Structure 1
């Protein structure tokens, strides 16, 4: 079993405790503790993320059908994760309105990225239906 999750959990809990203590003295600095904690955790998982992208690249090189859609799927996943990550930081900062707009922007971008897939599915359905 990989022990990284225990280190990440410990850093996350230390960040929460530190942010809570800082809020008592200087509430405006608590967000810096949160952002620093998030960045440290992100850096810790960066090599795992690199491995995931290498794995996805290997899959892409092996598939023959649907190659055009694979990059779209990856972009959609990236937009979803980035939008969620950013919205969570905004919510943690007490900025729910900004978080909501980030989530909305993510959804719009996902729909925009999915248009070629939707069009292909509609063309396929059109071909299958008798005219």
Structure 2
């Protein structure tokens, strides 16, 4: 029932932010950022266990761990970029949030090049000459 704790924390933080926002907007932003980081840290154990399961499955399927690690890094970039953009958006900086999202997308493309290259090479080998 961790979701109940996460939602509870989120609701309490939201109420506090709404109360404090009028008097101290900077404190309200810090409370928002702290809440987001707390929720993320709460989930790190779950993320770690998912990664271990995926690594075990990759080993059993004889999949090169480099590909799995690259895919996990890509997923991590996506989540971190989204998390950062949302925090910046909460501070009212839509332009900076958009730049963070664009940077995340470009980094994902760069990281995906080796995987795409292997897929293309495999397809080319399967085609008749």
Task: Provide runs of 4+ in structure 1 moved above 4 Å.
Answer: none
Report the counterpart of residue 79 of structure 2 in structure 1. 81
- List gaps (5 residues or longer) in structure 2: none
Partners of 1:8 and 1:72 lie apart in 2 by 29
Task: Report Cα offsets for 1:73-93 as digits up to 9, x if no partner.
Answer: 111111111111111111111
C-alpha root-mean-square deviation of aligned residues, in Å? 1.5
Match of 2:69 among 63, 68, 71: 71
Partners of 1:109 and 1:46 lie apart in 2 by 22
Match of 1:45 among 43, 63, 75: 43
1:1-131 equivalent positions in 2, closer than 5 A = 3-131=1-129
Tell me how many residue pairs correspond in the alignment: 129
Contact 2:58–2:64 (8 Å) recurs in 1: no
Scaled by the length of structure 1, what TM-score is found? 0.89
* Local SS of the residue matching 1:52: helix
Scaled by the length of structure 2, what TM-score is found? 0.90
